[in-house]
Homo-oligomer: A and B are copies of this chain.
Amino acid sequence: MALDPDRLFPAETNTRQIARDLYETVCDLPIISPHGHTDPRWFAENQKFEDPAQLFVVPDHYVLRMLVSQGVSLEALGVAGQNDEWFETDGRKIWRLFAEHYHLFRATPSKMWIDHSFEFVFGLQDAFSPETADNFYDQISEALNTDAFRPRQLFDRFGISALSTTESALDSLQWHQQIQTSDWEGRVITAYRPDNVIDPEFENFAKNLEIFGEITGEDISSWEGYLAAHRRRRALFIEHGATSSDHGHPTARTENLSQAEAAQLYEKALMQTCSAEEADKFRGHMLTEMARMSLDDGLVMQIHPGSFRNHSGSIMRQFGRDKGFDIPTPTNFVRDLHPLLNAFGMRADLNIIIFTLDETTLARELAPLAGVYPALKLGPPWWFYDSPNGMMRFRELTTETAGFYNTVGFNDDTRAFCSIPSRHDMARRVDCAYLATLVRAGQLSQSEAYELAQDLSYNFAKKAYKL
């Protein structure tokens, strides 16, 4: 099945034509991918990708979770456990299992991304099914064996003008170093993600802090030294192209403590004597410290709150993080962001980009907040909402209060490299569909719509992330 060229456009004929015309003007714009989780090593070493299963199935938590929900085991999908249990290592077997269950993905964004990759990256136009699985496996394997399908070549072919990965505060940045010093001109940059040295409840927090001190040469036994260590790392990340930091906390809580109180809390964190409440408070205060540093060093600040991580204890014990068992929770931004916004919300020279996993906050809290505080902008629909309906609801729920200009374009946020063009294509289609609907309803002129299509597809991300 070849993809429908009108996919995701409005049903009504006149509106569809407007959407089609708008899309024509943006479909070939360069891709800005300002936030994601691809592996910088790919671009540093430019090795060939392993096999179709390793590319499409094993690392994709969207794919894993859907198959698990219907009783397929993670082991059978090639996911290694923490101990020495068996897991499938035959790529073709994993691939066939995937094909047998591919109907589960009907009408999900995963299917649209994967079908798009099959067709546009690998030229495969048949419907993927148990019948075609082997043929797909062979053809993709063959392609991956050619130089044209190495990471840098795909990056160039995808038309990516800038791509940010995300590294922990303790990362050596060696792959980014290697990319920078190579003769390849692709722009791959890093982003500063310090959760593992900010969250007292992170695995190995004390050990992480120790390393944090060692690699920065700062005395992390004091609050001042700890802050200095952050400043040093941020500076190093900036040297490796970073324009943003990223913060993935369980809640959106922020705090603005006195330095004395913060220092006391840090001491508790260091001694690992924080209660759950104190750990949350410390994380909250550190967002305000990060904002303060951003005012100095210019890093754009991203906050990704509200996921109940590792909901299944048995899966966490056996397979670890990021296996599809993170579930969104209700979030209260009005209360939780209050300390941070009271401290720095009126600063027009600060860029805080907020994401949510709780759509009920879009119209009620986030659009009203971003629609008045100069420092706050709305990140695009994230994770479970990075989907046609999720994107449409995002626009419908935020535009009337925050407008378009307090949003920041699209992030693909992906670990799946081949899905990048399809994800941006989806976002551009849905935005054009939304703009077309407004034009058809007399709420926007044609010329405004054309200008906004460019903004939403390219300009806003470039500006918001300083790229």
**Closest Cβ–Cβ distance, residue A404 to chain B (whole Å):** 6
In the complex, the answer to whether A374 meets B341 with C-beta atoms within 8 Å is no
In the complex, the answer to whether B372 meets A402 with C-beta atoms within 8 Å is no
A99 proximal to B (CB < 8 A): no
* A369 / chain B contacts, CB cutoff of 8 Å: 311, 327
CA distance A441 to B14 in the complex (A): 14
In the complex, the answer to whether B108 meets A399 with C-beta atoms within 8 Å is yes
In the complex, the answer to whether B8 meets A11 with C-beta atoms within 8 Å is no
In the complex, the answer to whether B402 meets A112 with C-beta atoms within 8 Å is no
**Closest Cβ–Cβ distance, residue A344 to chain B (whole Å):** 11
In the complex, the answer to whether B334 meets A107 with C-beta atoms within 8 Å is no
* A324 / chain B contacts, CB cutoff of 8 Å: 372
* A30 / chain B contacts, CB cutoff of 8 Å: none
Interface string of A312-349 (1 = CB under 8 A from B): 11110000000011011110101100100110011010
In the complex, the answer to whether B370 meets A359 with C-beta atoms within 8 Å is no
CA distance A409 to B214 in the complex (A): 58
A371 proximal to B (CB < 8 A): yes
Known: A324-B372, A442-B6. A104 touches B1 (CB 8 A): no
**Closest Cβ–Cβ distance, residue A79 to chain B (whole Å):** 13
In the complex, the answer to whether A103 meets B7 with C-beta atoms within 8 Å is no
* A103 / chain B contacts, CB cutoff of 8 Å: 405, 448
Stretch at the interface among A63-71, A176-184, A267-275: A63-71
In the complex, the answer to whether B443 meets A374 with C-beta atoms within 8 Å is no
CA distance A193 to B70 in the complex (A): 27
CA distance A328 to B334 in the complex (A): 8
A385 proximal to B (CB < 8 A): yes
Chain A to chain B contacts (Cβ below 8 Å), 16 pairs: A11-B437, A66-B403, A69-B372, A70-B405, A71-B348, A105-B403, A106-B444, A106-B448, A108-B401, A311-B341, A312-B341, A328-B364, A329-B365, A358-B364, A364-B384, A384-B401
* Beyond A7-B443, A103-B405, 19 extra complex contacts between A and B, CB < 8 Å: A7-B441, A9-B441, A12-B12, A65-B372, A68-B374, A69-B372, A70-B406, A106-B448, A109-B400, A127-B445, A308-B335, A314-B346, A327-B334, A328-B364, A330-B360, A360-B364, A363-B384, A364-B384, A384-B401
